[in-house]
Amino acid sequence: MTKKQQPPTYGGQALIEGVMFGSKNHTVTAIRRKDDSLDYFYVPKEQKPISTKLKKIPFIRGIVALVESAGIGSRHLTFANERYDVMPGEEVVEEQESSKLAMVLGVAAVGVLSFLFGKFAFTLVPVFLAQMLDFIAPGKTAQILLESFFKLALLLIYISLISMTPLIKRVFQYHGAEHKVINTYENGLPLTVENVQSQSRLHFRCEVAFYYSPLLSGCSSISLFQQIHSGYGLSIEFY
């Protein structure tokens, strides 16, 4: 008996006025232009020998995959950002080498700034706010619970504020549409407008779930582990 072949897995990313879908070897973007026409951008995934070897190493493979995804995603983001509000034929053509260098530097700068901002907003600020309420909730367990609460509250406030801007709200809508398409495909249904509209806009593999899960689990599991290991002199810090 032959083993049933598994269908390929697809993922996606919301862009400005469009979405990107990717498989193991290919990525493609579709965006809506200013004149309401559609434009497409295709980027193959190059399997480099060094990255293939690094992906076999535990703890390292996740970082390598993240860097690769960020690099490919930035190319699709740049394509959408430069074309969505420009009429066809009015695109600015830049030299490939300078554009590639600018993309790499831009990704690195955004990554560093995002890390610093996230570290400040979602790590230092919650600790400071929890310490301000030390007279109400003293003790390590209470402080950890307060920090987790403030982290979750700040994240929800941040998402709510940026979603008020029309451009980001539109990106969020495309994000939900991308989930609907993936759900339609994974449920074995034809990719028609009717089938896509009937699907959920949530998906269990969405990266947003990875942002919320540590915060939600921190309200219970971290405090529990803190109590269990306190007798052994161990310390657990929640990021």
Task: State residue 190 phi and psi, 5-degree precision.
Answer: -60, 145
pLDDT tens sequence across 152-208: 888 888 888 888 888 889 999 999 999 999 999 999 999 999 999 999 988 877 766
* pLDDT at 236 > cutoff 80: no
Prediction pTM value: 0.70
CB 197 within 8 A of CB 180: yes
For the chain, the average pLDDT equals: 77
Task: Report the relative pairing of strands 11-15 and 18-22 from DSSP bridges.
Answer: antiparallel
b/e sequence 17-54, b meaning 16+ C-beta within 10 Å: bbbbbbeeeebebebbbeeeeebebebeeeeeeeeeee
Span 131-139, average pLDDT = 81
pLDDT tens sequence across 10-52: 888 889 999 999 888 889 999 999 888 999 999 888 877 787 7
